[in-house]
Amino acid sequence: MRLTVEELSVHAGSTRLVGPISLAIEAGEPLTILGETGAGKSLLAQAIMGALPEGLTAQGAITLDGRRLDTLPPRQRRALWGHEIAMLPQEPWRALDALMRSGEQVAESHAIVAGEGWKTAEARAHDALSGLGLEERAMAAWPGALSGGMAQRVAFAAATAAGAGTLLADEPTKGLDEARRDDVTALLLRYVEDGHLLLTITHDVAVARALGGKVMVLKDGEAVEHGAAAEVLHAPKSAYGQALIAADPANWPHIIPQRGGEPVLVAEGLGIARGRRLLLDGVGLSLRAGQRIAVVGESGLGKSSLLDTLAGLIPAAGGAVRRLGRGAAPFAVQKLYQDPPAAFAPRVPLAESFRDLERRHRISRAEREMLLERLGLSPGLLARRPDAVSGGELQRLALVRVLLLQPAVILADEPTSRLDPVTQRQVMEVIGAIARQSNVGLVLVTHNRTMARRWADSTLDLSDYTPLRAAG
């Protein structure tokens, strides 16, 4: 099997967004495309699949096992989906039908795409999901009740139900903790070992390293590196490739752990619940001024709910949260959210959001300008709306807004999970430095254990506080 792409480019009208790019994928040798958000990785995969968004066009030759795909009429090309080429989309919860049980969705793929009778389709779906390590209760569950790793396995089973020999995996580990990430990576490697073709889109250097084969690095729609994974990931030649590899948390320097100053936030025997479901029990945490604590645990365990409880946004199901010293002052505990655009009114210039805050809390413009300079931000950014600012800039602006309130505690909920590695490292360095300099206690929720080990003074693993583990 072989997939070749020659001089492929993607256009919006007369504007070229991606390419021209050429590549080849052989059976047993996966290709991973690395790059920052907006580099054109997903557009490249969609162009190969023949599934570009409306208004975009592709030029170039795409050949799968000797057959030109780009010259096929759209209907004939779509007929290949699932049978010869399949897409594993990012964020599987969005790709799966929320109103259909997991096993039924895979069975439906067998029935509709592979043309099997329903009884046969159900049996094949059961066998496929069992082979991927899913238990009966997971097969009977709604997608929203699955962990990220489970949902990705269900999506994989559905995508490959009709035996497609080529898989395009778009950010298949996005938002997963390291254990679930490694599970999905192992699943993709099994697909390759079975003699299939695999193209993976990711911004995670660890995924590219684990998959091996070849790596292509995209920057602003162009390939700046292309070669054997071992060579590109060990000794990249381009400036951007070097910055990307250096930004991998595995390459961050270890900080010297600090004990911090006086306690500002203490949780004792804390129970965390959503509705009637107890997520965590017996959680203990003591945060000191200037200290960084990382909270880790797999998706759905209750990390964000813990932060909401510490912030007083939801009540504790047991135990107590105490604010001490500076932490007891009004507005002393502030939250930094996962999705930067969600922190600002979308249709309002950023300057207006800041002016509202400054008027209410009697904060001087000079304080704002000092913080903007400290975080390397141009005051001119405030004339823009949130959608006209990059993710890294917007997250730093969110940090400025939090710091204007002079908090004693910042609760940061996956603040860089939607940022590319280079921007992620920049933002985390800024957050950490500001916390030290301002003597602010920081609680960071992250699914990246490597980042937690490199960046935090101490780590709280919530898997130790699930009800069954706590009872034992």
327 CB-near residues (< 8 Å, 6+ apart): 263, 264, 265, 333, 408, 409, 441
List residues bridging with 32 in a β-sheet.
200, 215
With 0-12 / 13-18 / 19 or more C-beta atoms within 10 angstroms meaning exposed / middle / buried, residue 159 is buried
pLDDT at 94: 67
Q: Among candidates 232, 173, 230, which has minimal Cα distance to 200?
A: 173
Tokens of 460: 């709280």
Q: What is the DSSP string of 51-62?
A: -PPTTEEEEEEE
| Amino acid 93: pLDDT | 67
What domains sit in the chain, N to C, each tagged with a CATH number? 2-249 (3.40.50.300), 263-471 (3.40.50.300)
* pLDDT tens-digit readout, 153-175: 888 888 888 788 899 998 888 76
Confidence at residue 471, expressed as pLDDT on a 0 to 100 scale: 45
User: Which residues in 232-261 are b (16+ Cβ under 10 Å) and which e?
Assistant: bbeebeeebbeebbebbbeebeeeeeeebe
Q: What letter would DSSP give residue 448?
A: -
* 36 CB burial (10 A radius; 0-12, 13-18, 19+): buried
Q: Yes or no: say if 42 and 201 are a contact pair by the CB < 8 Å rule.
A: yes
CA-wise closest residue to 295 among 422, 411, 123, 167 = 411
- The whole-angstrom separation of Cα 344 and Cα 358 is 15
Amino acid type, 140: A
DSSP string, 223-242: EEEEEEHHHHHHS--SHHHH
Helix or strand or coil: residue 89?
coil
Question: How far is 223 from 18, CA to CA, in rounded Å?
Answer: 9
DSSP for 274-329, written as a single string: ETTEEEEEEEEEEEETT-EEEEE--TTSSHHHHHHHHTTSS--SEEEEEE-GGGGS
Each residue's pLDDT expressed in tens, for the chain with a length of 472 residues: 899 999 999 998 888 989 799 999 999 899 999 987 778 888 899 999 898 888 889 999 999 988 999 999 989 998 888 888 988 887 666 678 778 888 888 888 888 877 888 888 888 888 888 877 777 777 888 877 776 667 878 888 888 887 888 999 988 887 677 777 888 888 899 889 989 999 999 888 889 999 999 999 999 889 999 999 999 998 999 999 998 888 888 888 888 888 878 999 999 998 988 777 788 888 999 999 999 999 998 767 788 889 999 998 888 888 999 988 887 888 889 998 877 777 788 888 899 989 888 898 999 989 899 888 887 788 888 988 887 777 778 888 888 888 888 899 999 988 887 777 887 888 888 888 888 888 999 999 988 888 899 999 999 998 888 775 544 4
d(CA 272, CA 92): 26
The answer to whether 31 touches 23, Cβ cutoff 8 Å, is yes
SS3 of residue 199 by DSSP = strand
CA distance 345 to 355: 13
Q: For residue 389, what is the DSSP state?
A: S
Nearest to 188, CA basis, from 146, 216, 245, 149: 149
Q: What is the pLDDT of residues 245-279, one digit of tens each?
A: 888 888 888 888 888 789 999 999 989 887 777 88
Cα–Cα distance for residue pair 58/12, rounded to 1 Å? 9
- For residue 377, the model assigns a pLDDT of 83
- Rounded to whole angstroms, the Cα distance separating 164 from 137 reads 27
List the strands of the sheet with 409-413, edge to edge: 333-336, 409-413, 441-445, 292-296, 458-461
Q: Structure pTM? A: 0.75
pLDDT tens for 275-311 read 777 888 889 999 999 999 999 987 677 888 899 999 9
